[in-house]
Amino acid sequence: MSEPGYRLLDCGDRALTVELGRAVDPVVNALVVALDEAIRGAGRPGLLETVPTYRSLLVLYDPDLLPRADLAALIAGHWPPPVAATGAIRRWRVPVLYGGEHGADLAGLAAGAGLSQEEVIALHAGRDYRVHMIGFAPGFAYLGGLDPRLHASRRTDPRPLIPAGSVSIGGNQTGVSPPLELPSGWQLIGRTPARSYDPARAEPFLFAAGDLIRFEPIDRAAFDDASAAAQAGELVATMERVDG
């Protein structure tokens, strides 16, 4: 079934994908986030969970409480969703220790780009990134907006495990790993003490689709101090509200 501006794709009998586009695009992603907020805000019984992605929204539902036709009508009733223009965006400032043992691929990535390591760090930390989606592992943030000079292919020899909290680059994206050791083929350029996922928190996930992230370089002493604070349950990433 198709509607103007989106397609409905069945995922079994208890989930529906609302596809809003075919490419990774910040405008499309903003619509995904807005539709997610609108549908969840409706508070309909039988609506179990929503999962925003780059260009689509997965909606899980109980067909005994919310028949598929009613869910489709609910989606249609909130289309197009209002996209907030100002004052609704969270920006996280995330500390990162770049290079060395915590950014094993920084030197090679810099050489391949014809830049110094310091230039790579300045470029990477010099802009805001949009959280397009959370996926792969709990709290892993896929970020859009990477400077084209830093685009780098994934490794031909993926690592079985990378350090918790790794900051990495894969293709035209950068990402923040949760505080878990994970397999990865992305290029490692740094590590953050911030915990993007902590099941002990009231809200386990720190970032959400539609948020902004800005990285702030720190030295080893600051990293060690922040790591101890994060281990004690403190948020070492700071949040501010900015105009959209």
| Structure confidence by residue, pLDDT tens digits, 114-135 | 999 999 999 999 999 999 999 9
Could you say which of 36, 51, 77 is where a domain stops? 77
Q: Is residue 221 part of a domain?
A: yes
Would you mind telling me the total number of residues written for the chain in this entry?
244
Q: Which of 22-26, 63-67, 111-115, 219-223 has the lowest mean pLDDT?
A: 22-26
Cα 101 to Cα 83, 106, 188, 227, 228, distances in angstroms? 42, 10, 10, 16, 18
Given a cut of 80, whether residue 164 has pLDDT beyond it is yes
Question: How confident is the model over 170-215, as pLDDT tens digits?
Answer: 999 999 999 999 999 999 999 999 999 999 999 999 999 999 999 9
Instruction: Assess whether 225 and 149 both reside in one domain.
Output: yes
Pair 67, 93 in one domain: no
83 occurs within a structural domain: no
Range of the domain at 30: 2-77
Q: Of the candidates 19, 48, 77, which is a domain's last residue?
A: 77
Q: Give the number of domains in the chain.
A: 2
What amino acid is encoded at 132 in this protein? H
Do 69 and 105 belong together in one domain? no
Do 23 and 62 share a structural domain?
yes
Share of the chain above pLDDT 70, in %: 96
Whether the per-residue pLDDT at 26 is higher than 90: the answer is: no
Q: Which of 20, 45, 77 is the last residue of a domain?
A: 77
- The reply to whether 45 and 97 lie within a common domain is no
Which residues, in sequence order, are CB contacts of 44 under 8 Å at separation 6+? 66, 70, 74
Lowest mean pLDDT among 93-97, 117-121, 156-160, 240-244: 240-244
User: What whole-number distance in Å separates Cα of residue 152 and Cα of residue 181?
Assistant: 22
Residues 60 and 100 in one domain: no
State whether 64 and 111 are in the same domain. Answer: no
Residue 82 lies in a domain: no
- Residue 84 has a pLDDT of 60
Kindly report the pTM of this predicted structure. 0.86
